[in-house]
Chain A
Amino acid sequence: MKVSIYRYNPETDKKPYMMDFDVAIPEGRDLMVLDVLNLIKEQDPTLVYRRSCREGVCGSDGLSIGGTNGLACITPLSEAVRGNKLVIRPLPGLPVIRDLVVDMSLFYKQYEKIKPYLINDTPAPAIERLQSPEDREKLDGLYECILCACCSTACPSFWWNPDKFVGPSGLLQAYRFLADSRDTATEERLAELDDPFSVFRCRGIMNCVNVCPKGLNPTRAIGHIRQMLFKSAT
């Protein structure tokens, strides 16, 4: 099978280019894209990409696979190959460090901005802060995010303003803490989001929902944030 991969080494290449590889795929097995990358790495050890857990938990190998963002380790070839060819590029919108590795600083900066930790100024209880099963249920579909950046780098609003728009991933996490019954900083969190960029650059096109490898729904979370902002301001 033919595999076309984005290559760029800033030390030797003036411009990025696509390099084609021929890979022998074992008969009768539906390999994951990461397995194919590993086979290519045997051919060409200079190919660089990130990977770690190889089972969709760590979020290291987010890539643009056949034009759609996804995790290489849990995307089967049968879904990724179009016209008998597999095209792999780095996540769009972020600066490329080398080959398929991108600089995620902007992405993490937005994550940091939403204060991704519990804030609670009441005295700490002796053992732990309790939560009812109903309140805990509100965090389902939010806490599962693995920060792979597939959603934010599929979002045009994040491409145009990655320094100002928090992006779907950061906003999903923002709502995860807004929705947490143990967090007491709701008003402060909302005040930080009430500008024309942080939340309101979302135009609701749902690219994020389309690509999330964990099946999460950042657009819905952003809708909840808007509702909370609206309720607290009217």
Chain B
Amino acid sequence: MVTNITNLSRSGLYDWMLQRLTAVVLGAYSVFLLGYLVINPGLQFGQWAELFDETWMRIFTLLALISILAHAWIGMWTITTDYFNDRAFGRKSVLIRFPLQIVCFIALFSYVIWGVQILWGL
């Protein structure tokens, strides 16, 4: 068992499953938005705002935002531990890797909060 503390769940299996479930959510959301834009050519702001006034659309969007948080965190964590590890940057690689992981987390967390502000017009 290889131990670590910075990945999402400490279990490779849980991360793996979560990445796939969130991929399905993101895929469904992308297809829905794309389909909506195709079905409604010449879309006006009023109709667009109405769509996002619906509770189900807000839930769907928030779910997609949280999915991005989990999905991208698992992916970015994997990338940082692949390319910014001791083999690439020597024994002090953690000084590069950990700040990068923090930047990723702050960016992703900000997307969720920002999204909530937009959705509820706060």
The interface of chain A, by Cβ under 8 A from chain B, is 157, 159-162, 164, 191-201, 226, 229-230, 233
Between B3, B78, B83, B85, the greatest number of chain A beta carbons within 10 A of the residue's beta carbon is seen for B78
Instruction: Give B residues with C-beta under 8 Å from A.
Output: 1-4, 7, 10-13, 15-17, 78, 81-83, 85, 87-88
Residue in chain B with minimal CB distance to A164: B2
For this complex, 6 residue pairs linking A to B, each with C-beta atoms less than 8 Å apart, are: A161-B82, A161-B87, A194-B13, A196-B2, A196-B15, A200-B16
- The distance from the CB of B1 to the nearest CB of chain A, in whole angstroms, is 5
* Contact assessment for A198 and B12 in the assembled complex, using a CB-CB cutoff below 8 Å: yes
Query: Which A-chain residue is minimally distant from B7 (CB atoms)?
Result: A196
Contact partner of B12 (CB less than 8 A), chosen from A159, A162, A199, is: A199
Classify the interface of chain B: helix, strand, loop or mixed.
helix
Count the A-B residue pairs with Cβ separation under 8 angstroms: how many?
55
B12 engages A195 (CB within 8 Å)? yes
Which of A164, A192, A229 is in CB contact (< 8 Å) with B13? A229
Instruction: State whether A195 touches B11 (Cβ < 8 A).
Output: yes
A226 to B2, Cβ gap below 8 A?
no
Q: A200-B16, A226-B16, A230-B17 are in contact. Are A194 and B11 (CB under 8 A)?
A: yes
**Residues in chain A near residue B11, CB distance under 8 A:** 194-196
- Report the minimal beta-carbon distance from B103 to chain A, rounded to whole angstroms: 20
Find out whether the CB atom of A230 lies under 8 angstroms from the CB atom of B13: yes
B15 near A200 with CB under 8 A, answer yes
Closest partner residue, chain B, to A192 (CB atom): B1
Contact yes or no, B13 A198, CB < 8 A = no
The 10 closest A-B pairs by CB, nearest first: A200-B12, A196-B12, A197-B2, A160-B82, A195-B2, A164-B2, A196-B7, A229-B13, A195-B12, A195-B1
CA distance A194 to B15 in the complex (A): 10
Report the separation of the CA atoms of residues A159 and B85 in the bound assembly, to the nearest whole angstrom.
Answer: 11
Query: B81 to chain A: which residues have CB within 8 Å?
Result: 161
A229 to B15, CA, bound (A): 13
- Most interface-central of A159, A161, A162 (chain B CB within 10 A): A161
Distance in Å: Cβ of A113 to nearest Cβ of chain B: 9
